[in-house]
C-alpha cells in the first residue's frame, strides 16, 4: 500500500469523552480518520441508553471502561493507543497524575494533551486570586516535563459557550436587553473560540512535529475582541444602543471580594481577561498559533456566533 491508504493514523484515547469538550474531541478525532477510544466511567456503561454514549458510538468510537481512579483500566487503555487527550474538569486536574504514570509505564504514547484548554497558566497575572486554579495545571505540566512525556498544551482562552452567550454579563445566560456592564475601560482584548473548533485544532496537532513539546495558542482573527468591540458589534446587529456602565478595576475587585461562588470565579476570569489582558498581553510566535499553523481549519467567528444569538432573542 502507498500514500493516504497506506498511512496508519494515530490511535487516540480521549479521557472525558462523555463531557462537552471531550465529546467534541472524540468526534473531531474520528472525523480526521483516527481510530478513537473513549474512556468511559462505569456509571455510563451501566445505562446502555445513556445519552452521552450514543453519539460516541454512532460516530464510531470504541468505548473502554475505566476512570482516573482505576489505574489498571488506565494502563490497559493507554497501551492500545499512540495519543492520549484528557478533558476532565480543572478541579480534577491533579487526578491526571495517575494517567501520566500509566503513559510513562506503557511507553507507547507519542503525544499527550493534558486537560488545559484555557489560558496559558504560566502567563496569568492575577497572583493568588484564583484559588489554585492555574497552579494545578502548572503542577501537571511540571510532572509531564520531568517524566519526559511528549506533549502539546492547548491554550484556547475562553470557550464561546462560556460568557459569550450573555456578552460577558456574569449571572445571565443571554444578552442583556437595555443596559450592559463593561469591565475596565473596555479596550482590553479577550479571545473566544467555539469548543468544536478547539477540538479540530487540537486534533491537527497530534501528529504534527511542529507542536511537539510546545504550546498551541488560539487567537483566531475575528475572535480576538474587547468588550467595547463586542458591544458595538451587538448593537449593530440588534439596531439598538445599550446603556453602557463602566465598572472600574477597583469596583470589580470589590465585586469579586463580595461575590459568592461560582459567580466569584466568573468575575475573576473576567478580571483576568478584560482588565489584566491575560489572553493577549504577551506576544506569540506565529509558529505557535492555531490558525497560522492550520489555515485550512474553518472556525466560527464571534460575529457568526452573535448572529446565532440574534436568532434567539
Ligand atoms: N476555556 C474555557 O472557557 C473552558 C470552559 C470550560 C471548561 N474548560 C476546559 O475544558 C476541559 C473539559 O471541560 P468540560 O466543561 O468539557 O468538562 P465536562 O463537560 O464537565 O466533562 C468532564 C468529563 O470528564 C470526565 N471525568 C470526570 N472525572 C473523571 C474521572 N475521575 N475519571 C475519568 N473521567 C472523568 C467526565 O465523565 P462523566 O461523564 O462520567 O462525569 C466527563 O466525561 C477542561 O480542561 C476545562 O478546564 C475550558
Read off the pLDDT of residues 235-290 as tens digits, 9 standing for 90 and up: 999 999 999 999 999 999 999 999 999 999 999 999 999 999 999 999 999 999 99
Tell me the pLDDT band of 8, cut-offs 50, 70 and 90.
confident
Q: Which residue's entry shows cell 444578552?
A: 175
- Cβ atoms of 168 and 274 within 8 Å: the answer is yes
Q: Which of 14, 16, 78 for a ligand 1 pocket mutation test, highest count of atoms within 8 Å of Cβ?
A: 16
Residue of the nearest CA to atom 10 in ligand 1? 117
Strand-pair partners of 158: 192
Q: What average pLDDT does this structure show over 299-313?
A: 94
Question: 173 burial class (0-12, 13-18, 19+ CB within 10 angstroms)?
Answer: exposed
Question: How close is the Cα of 93 to the center of ligand 1, in Å?
Answer: 10
Q: Does 92 sit in the ligand 1 pocket, CB within 6 Å?
A: yes
Segment 71-98 shows an average pLDDT of 98
The pLDDT-based confidence of 7 (bands split at 50, 70, 90) is: low
Q: What is the mean pLDDT of residues 52-76?
A: 97
Is 168's C-beta closer than 6 angstroms to any atom of ligand 1? no
| Cβ(186)–Cβ(226) below 8 Å | yes
Q: Is ligand 1 within 6 A of the CB of residue 16?
A: yes
18 CA from centroid of ligand 1 (Å): 8
For the domain made up of 3-159+194-220+282-295, the CATH class stated in words is alpha beta
Between the CA of 2 and the centroid of ligand 1 the distance, in Å, is 39
| pLDDT at site 2 | 40
SS3 of residue 176 by DSSP: coil
The ranges assigned to domains in the chain are: 3-159+194-220+282-295
- Listed as own residue / partner, the contacts of 287-291 with beta carbons closer than 8 Å and 24 or more positions apart are 287/210, 288/214, 288/215, 288/216, 288/217, 289/216, 289/217, 289/218, 289/219, 290/156, 290/201, 290/204, 290/216, 290/217, 290/218, 290/219, 290/220, 291/218, 291/219, 291/220, 291/221
Ligand 1 center from residue 274 Cα (angstroms): 25
Residue 5 has pLDDT above 60, yes or no: no
Please indicate whether residue 163, judged by its CB atom, sits closer than 6 Å to ligand 1. Answer: no
- pTM score over 0.95: yes
Query: Is the distance from the beta carbon of residue 190 to the nearest atom of ligand 1 less than 6 Å?
Result: no
Measuring CA to CA, how many Å separate 148 from each of 79, 114, 213? Answer: 17, 14, 9
Nearest CA to ligand 1 atom 19: 19
Q: How far apart are CA 57 and CA 18, in angstroms?
A: 11
Where do runs of H (alpha helix) occur along 87-221? 96-106, 133-146, 195-205
**pLDDT of residue 110 exceeding 80:** yes
Q: Which of 22, 89, 166 to mutate to test the pocket of ligand 1 (most atoms within 8 A of CB)?
A: 89
Q: How high is the pLDDT of residue 293?
A: 98
User: Of 33, 303, 54, 86, whose CA–CA distance to 194 is shortest?
Assistant: 303
Above 70 in pLDDT, residue 6? no
**Cβ-count burial of 168 within 10 angstroms (0-12 exposed, 13-18 middle, 19+ buried)?**
buried
Distance between CA atoms of residues 65 and 39, nearest Å: 6
The Cα 154–Cα 288 span in angstroms is 10
Strands 189-193 and 111-113: unpaired
Number of other residues whose CB lies within 10 A of the CB of residue 140 = 24
Q: What is the spatial distance between Cα 199 and Cα 30, in angstroms, rounded to a whole number?
A: 11
90 lines ligand 1 (CB under 6 A): yes
Residue among 44, 86, 90 nearest 68 (CA)? 86
Amino acid at each position: 500500500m502507498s500514500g493516504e491508504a497506506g498511512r496508519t493514523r494515530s490511535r487516540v484515547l480521549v479521557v472525558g469523552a462523555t463531557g462537552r469538550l471531550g465529546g467534541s474531541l472524540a468526534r473531531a478525532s474520528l472525523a480526521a480518520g483516527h481510530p478513537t477510544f473513549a474512556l468511559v466511567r462505569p456509571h455510563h456503561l451501566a445505562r446502555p441508553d445513556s445519552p452521552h454514549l450514543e453519539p460516541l458510538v454512532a460516530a464510531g468510537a470504541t468505548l473502554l471502561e475505566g476512570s482516573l481512579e482505576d489505574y489498571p483500566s488506565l494502563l490497559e487503555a493507554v497501551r492500545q493507543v499512540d495519543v492520549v487527550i484528557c478533558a476532565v474538569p480543572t478541579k480534577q486536574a491533579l487526578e491526571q497524575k495517575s494517567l501520566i504514570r500509566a503513559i510513562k509505564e506503557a511507553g507507547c504514547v507519542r503525544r499527550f494533551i493534558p486537560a488545559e484548554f484555557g489560558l496559558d497558566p504560566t502567563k496569568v497575572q492575577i497572583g493568588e486570586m484564583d484559588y489554585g486554579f492555574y497552579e494545578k495545571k502548572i503542577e501537571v505540566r511540571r510532572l509531564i516535563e520531568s517524566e519526559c512525556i511528549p506533549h502539546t498544551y492547548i491554550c484556547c482562552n475562553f470557550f464561546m459557550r462560556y460568557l459569550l452567550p450573555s456578552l460577558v454579563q456574569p449571572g445571565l445566560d443571554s444578552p442583556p436587553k437595555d443596559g450592559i456592564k463593561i469591565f475596565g475601560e473596555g479596550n482590553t482584548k479577550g479571545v473566544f473560540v467555539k469548543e468544536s473548533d478547539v477540538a479540530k485544532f487540537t486534533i491537527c496537532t497530534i501528529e504534527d512535529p511542529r507542536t511537539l513539546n510546545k504550546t498551541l495558542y488560539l487567537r483566531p482573527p475575528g475572535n480576538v475582541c474587547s468588550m467595547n468591540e463586542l458591544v458595538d458589534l451587538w448593537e449593530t446587529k440588534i439596531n439598538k444602543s445599550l446603556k453602557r456602565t463602566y465598572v472600574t478595576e477597583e469596583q470589580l475587585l470589590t465585586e469579586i471580594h463580595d461575590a459568592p461562588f461560582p459567580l466569584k470565579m466568573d468575575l475573576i476570569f473576567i478580571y483576568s481577561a478584560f482588565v489584566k489582558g491575560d489572553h493577549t498581553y504577551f506576544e506569540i510566535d506565529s509558529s505557535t498559533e492555531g490558525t497560522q499553523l492550520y489555515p485550512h481549519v474553518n472556525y466560527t467567528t464571534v460575529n457568526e456566533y452573535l448572529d446565532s444569538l440574534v436568532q434567539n432573542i
